[in-house]
Amino acid sequence: MTDVVIHRGLDGVESITGVVVVIDVFRASNTIIALLAAGAREVFLLAELERARALKSEDPRRPLLGERGGIAPADFDGGNSPSAAPSLIAPGDSAILTTSAGTQAVARLRSAETVLFASFANASAAAARIRDLEPPVVTMLPMGLEARTPAVEDDEAALWIAGLLEGRTQDFEPVRARLLDCDGARRLRRLGQHDDLSACVELDSRDLVPVVLAGDPPRAVAMGADTGRIRYNSPSAGRGPGCGEG
């Protein structure tokens, strides 16, 4: 059986090997899942605002999405919003995303073999794909608020997926109640992001798992049941946007 390790925050992530599951419930995981479910071919994942803007300038058709402090920068096409972002993408197109937590992890996971994004929305799908990969160890990476402060929603999702992998019987209703009463939920309400909150506390609403492919920049694509094993830090996985796609 796969052993589950929970690693909170970004300290030391450069040395994590094997399969890593990035968990950013409020909201990067859910935004990436929603974009791919809406038909995006890929979501480029950037840590820096200026690099995201530069990638947008190479192809203005790509929606530039993201946040700092929970709010989209003024020159962006949209925020880090699982409820709103899908309306900005056409099937088959690419999107660009930069966030305060979830996308920050990707560039630093230098030793990971496979990097997935998960949340409650795709928890069962994520657990199924992890089982398919049959890793001896999987590392859950709950990001927390701006990758600095532990967050209830991310810890709860890590524990929920771990429970699925261990075959435990679980009741989502008390978990959902804790999600709706946590600091992250109150923050979303203060920011007026009620639709995002509703989307982020749905269980198993999506059957896809974003997997990160190495490149400059890295990108998330939908990992289906027939995708097979994808290595993150593999030369064949890397493909930058300068290959005529986007």
Per-residue model confidence (pLDDT) at position 79: 98
Per-residue model confidence (pLDDT) at position 244: 34
**CA dist 153 → 23, 73, 157, 176, 222 (Å):** 9, 24, 6, 9, 23
Residue 93 CB contacts under 8 Å (≥ 6 apart), including other chains: 39, 40, 41, 61, 62, 63
pTM of the model: 0.92
Per-residue model confidence (pLDDT) at position 239: 40
What are the structural domains, with CATH classification, of the chain?
A: 3-234 (3.90.1560.10)
Per-residue model confidence (pLDDT) at position 241: 37
Taking 70 as the pLDDT cut, the residues of the chain under it are 224-246
For every residue of 167-222, DSSP letters joined together read T----HHHHHHHHHTSHHHHHHHHTT-HHHHHHHT-SS----EEEEEPSSS-EEEE
Alpha carbons 116 and 209: distance in angstroms, whole number: 7
Per-residue model confidence (pLDDT) at position 237: 43
